[in-house]
Structure 1
Amino acid sequence: MAPPIAVAICFTAGLILRLSLFRTSLALWFAEKPEISTPVTSWERAMEGVALSKSMISPYSGDLFHETPLMLRFLEFATRAFPADVNYLFVFVDMLSAFVLLKIGNLFARYLLQKQVNDIQCVSTKAEKIIIRKASVEDLHLILAAAHLFNPFSVAVCLGKSTAVFNNLAIYFSFLFLLQGNELLCLISIAMASYQSLYPLTLLAPVALYFYTVRNPKRVTSLSADAVNSYVRTTVLGLLAITGLLVISYLLEGSTLFLYSTYGFTLSVPDLTPNLGVFWYFFTEMFEHFRTFFICVFQIHAFLYVVPLSIRLRDHPVFLMYILVVLMSIFKSYPSYADVALLTSLLPLWKHIFSYMRNKFVVTNMLVCCTVFGPILYHLWIYAGSANANFYFSIALAFSSAEVFLATDLLFAYLRREFDLKHGIEQKLENGKIAQVILE
């Protein structure tokens, strides 16, 4: 485990970095960037909704406010409690996220080592080089915290006061409670994240798989009657938690107007403000009578891969959960840097498979180039008038492609390492030549 002084220095530096940058003009600049402030996470829109609510006007009667009723009440409380220093709220949430990641790192290191012990009978004697050692994961918690505290995406989202930080915090808590084995709190965390942004509903699948393996460590199959009952139980509990939040919202609002302004808005994508995704460009160019069909085609991708991935990764639910987080950031209708901050902060969990990844250099360069050129091309398009929508869309498409490459590369690396664990690092044919392994 990393020494406490290193953890303290890391957290102090992250705190000073955020407080210092909030005193500059960067905070206002980030708040205006479409890569950070989307129609569903914009702080300016959130404050408009709070102002309308204080004036006894329903913020859901218009097309400006798209936060949930509980988030509206929380924002009203926050603006009353911190009328001039709401920046501190976002700094606090970021620091809390780092603390949760610190705990996740400790628990995940134990999880990896314990899983390795449980599967030791299936490990080849020729796979000694890729066995996870305790020394290689003892600093994982510090790496995770640092990956968040000094992550440029996390810092930018904090400075831009994107409300997505609350959604990210709920997802971090879901990972924490999953690894702690606390099913109820894990489902409540996923319910809160799903209530806020809908797409985390997909995380119920890996959670159901995980808690079935916890309850049945000596399971023979994942499709027995007990397994199905366990999956249904966990899923129903999760859906009940979400339903409870919706009922509370209805009681607070006295109407169901909020349903369309939040989930209906997310699914129907009526606001085509440019962002990191690809929805806005396609539906700007599309004929109206094709719109409903292609909305369904686009949206189904966020949920389509849950079943096949759950079948293939049924013995690796934590990795499945992370891959679904990556897919959410790719296929959601209004993605932002907050989604990238989430997946990059959790990425060090899989540092033991980095050596198997084939496209690290390509993916890293694509993400860096798109991050740098995105604001430039947006400025040339909107302000200078020397570019057009195609320029900015090309950056958004390249960014999404980089995330796709990252997801596929992680999947390949994970499955290839699992193969090598069972069959050894070097597989040879009968004639003594080294075999070529092909992933199908």
Structure 2
Amino acid sequence: MWVREKWVLFACVVARLLVSLLFPSLQQQLDKSVEFSTPFTSYRSLREGVYMLENGFQVYNGGVVHQAPLLVAVMSFIESDTVIALVYALLDAVVAYQLTCIAQCFAAFVEIPVWLPSLLYSFNPLVLLSCVSRSSVIFTNVCISTAVLSALQGEIVVASMAIATAGYLSLYPMLLLIPLLSLFEGKTVKVKAVTCSSVTLVSLLALSNVVCYGSWGFLEATYGALVRFDKLFPNLGLWWYFFIEMFEAFLPFFKAVFNIMVVSFIGPITLRFYKQPFYAFVLFLGWILITKPYPTLGDAGFFLSFIPFFKPLYGYLRYSLLSCLLFLHAVLLSPIFYHLWVDLGSGNSNFFYAITLVYALALASIVVDLCWAMLRMDYDQGKPNYSLKITQI
């Protein structure tokens, strides 16, 4: 690795540690914010699970803890607050390093400095604040980036185990196995990847059963509650307001519809862009971010870190300025509108939900624009012709 990449990783760790040390109360403030914390990623919930595990209680009694049992068990071995901050900073540095390695894999096709994705990730305010908040989303992101890098390097077993672990931690990333398989060549290899992922997932669930003293109650608390959207907490997603306003009799049907909506585009995206499997993977990652029930800004920061790899398509983008302005508008106004609604009482839920719609529109604009750019590149057969105007493909 070049000296420049090492300095980026070093700065990534130092920046996170400095923010944590200079602003010790910031972690608790961010952990209480709906932009960086949800009932399924909250550090408070994770520490509650650690406390219950260490004192011999059933971790998932009471409906407070929703993190995976093995994550709770691992975190129970770390007591020092400084060490915990260091662990989170190092995990973010791992993701930054893996982005550098991914850039090296595409060095011949994407003309960007290999350290650029790492730099953008390391100093993205959304990623940095998500790390400081100690949201458990970082563990999922590490597994996803590991899976992508391993697949590009041909390491089938590692990629399969990583994506299965990501699915174990937060369920929906398990869907990424489908576009991930497109990165492998040969039916035998793909069968091996599916088998390895299945074995890994079953093994993790079996170990979780042991950690929970032989109880399978964690399945209901972690995955069942997520799919059924049991926690009607405000967040940046599209689900919460819709189900708060709905009659109870219709809830099961529409919750099923919303979950189907998450899954529905995995086939079309993977099949349409089967010649560009890495880009299909990133696009579906963006789709999950838009449609999942409990998104955070940490998820968005991770997704946006892959945008530099689309540099060959930048000339085809039509709404880049609009997407950027919508995203900045939503990120800046969401905490203000939430404060007006919850703290001051001078607004109502419509204030905050309106800005979450803008946030979803911004992400959808990015994903749709990237899809259009890929279709145009495919239409031009890999030879960009920006002057050609096409209204329909």
| Cα distance in 1 for residues equivalent to 2:388 and 2:163 | 44
Correspondence for 2:12: 14
**2:364 aligned residue (404, 421, 431):** 404
After superposition, the Cα gap between the structure-2 partners of 1:348 and 1:423, relative to the gap in structure 1 and judged at 3 Å, is closer
Distance 1:424 1:144 in 2: 23
1:36 equivalent to 2:36? Answer yes
Cα pair 1:357 1:410 within 8 Å, conserved: yes
Residue of structure 2 equivalent to 1:204 = 177
Whole-Å separation in 2 of the counterparts to 1:156 and 1:439: 41
What secondary structure does 1:395 align onto?
Answer: helix
C-alpha contact 2:148 2:180 (8 A) present in aligned 1: no
Indicate if the aligned counterparts of 1:70 and 1:249 stay in contact, CA closer than 8 A: yes
The residue type equivalent to 2:269 in the other structure is L
Is 2:127–2:298's contact at 8 Å kept on the other side of the alignment? yes
CA distance in 1, matches of 2:118, 2:89: 14
Q: CA deviation at 1:239?
A: 2.2
180-189 vs 4-13, which moves further? 4-13
Q: Which has the higher contact order (CA 8 A, sep 6+)?
A: 1
Following the alignment from structure 1 to structure 2, what is the Cα–Cα distance between the partners of residues 188 and 35?
Answer: 30
1:232 Cα shift? 4.4
Kindly indicate whether the alpha-carbon contact (under 8 Å) linking 1:205 and 1:235 is maintained by their aligned counterparts in 2.
no
Aligned residues of 2:152 and 2:183 also touching (Cα < 8 A): no
Instruction: Give the Cα–Cα distance (whole angstroms) in 1 for the partners of residues 106 and 336 of structure 2.
Output: 39
Measured on the aligned residues, the alpha-carbon RMSD in Å equals: 1.8
* Distance in 2 (alpha carbons) for counterparts of 1:109 and 1:265: 42
Counterpart mapping for 1:238-277 below 5 A: 238-253=197-212, 254-277=214-237
Once residues 144 and 384 of structure 2 are traced to their aligned partners in structure 1, the CA distance between those partners, rounded to angstroms, is 36
CA distance in 2: counterparts of 1:267 and 1:309, whole angstroms: 22
Task: Kindly indicate whether the alpha-carbon contact (under 8 Å) linking 1:359 and 1:405 is maintained by their aligned counterparts in 2.
Answer: yes
CA separation of 1:255/1:360 partners in 2, compared to 1, >3 Å: closer, same or farther?
same
- 5 Å-filtered alignment, 1:18-417, equals 18-22=16-20, 23-24=22-23, 25-79=25-79, 82-110=80-108, 112=109, 136-137=111-112, 139=113, 141-212=114-185, 215=186, 227=187, 231-253=190-212, 254-417=214-377
Tell me the secondary structure at the aligned position of residue 348 of structure 1.
helix
Shift of 1:207: 2.1
With normalisation by structure 2, the TM-score equals 0.94
**Residue deviations 1:14-62 (CA, integer Å, cap 9, x gap):** 3332222112143332222111010000001111111111121111122
Contact kept, 8 Å, 1:274 with 1:280, in 2: the verdict is: yes
Q: 1:109 to 1:274 in 2, by over 3 A?
A: same
Taking the aligned partners of 1:78 and 1:347, their CA distance within structure 2 comes to: 35
Q: Which runs of 5+ in 1 are unaligned?
A: 113-131, 216-226, 427-433
In 1, distance between residues paired with 2:164 and 2:69?
15
Shift of 1:308: 1.4
Letter in structure 2 aligned against 1:367? F
Specify whether residues 237 and 11 from structure 1 end up closer, same or farther in structure 2 by C-alpha distance, changes over 3 A only.
closer
Contact 2:53 2:73 in 1 (8 A): no
- Tell me the secondary structure at the aligned position of residue 210 of structure 1: coil
Q: 1:331 to 1:341 in 2, by over 3 A?
A: same
User: Are the aligned partners of 2:377 and 2:383 in contact in 1 as well (CA < 8 Å)?
Assistant: no
The within-5 A match list for 1:401-440 is: 401-421=361-381, 425=385, 436-440=389-393
Contact 1:147 1:344 in 2 (8 A): no
What one-letter code is carried by the residue in structure 1 that aligns with 2:366? L
Say whether the 8 Å CA contact 2:283–2:367 is kept in structure 1.
yes
Distance 1:9-1:21 versus aligned 2 partners, 3 A rule: same
- Extract unaligned runs of 5+ from structure 2: none
- Structure 2 CA distance, aligned partners of 1:163 and 1:170? 12
Alpha-carbon contact 2:143-2:166 (below 8 Å) kept: yes
Give the drift of 1:167.
Answer: 0.6
CA distance in 2, matches of 1:233, 1:12: 37
AA partner of residue 344 (structure 2): A
Moved more, 249-258 or 323-332: 249-258
Shift of 1:419: 1.6
> What is the aligned-residue identity percentage?
29
* Contact map agreement 1:326 1:343 (CA 8 A) in 2: yes
Maintained 8 Å contact 1:36/1:162: yes
**Higher Rg of the two aligned structures:** 1
> Deviation at 1:294?
0.4
CA contact (8 A) 2:147 2:160 kept: yes
Deviation at 1:166, TM superposition (A): 0.6
Distance 1:233 1:97, change over 3 A: closer
Q: Shift of residue 237 of structure 1?
A: 3.0
Report the Cα offset of residue 83 of structure 1.
Answer: 4.8
Q: CA deviation at 1:97?
A: 1.4
Residues matched between the structures, number: 390
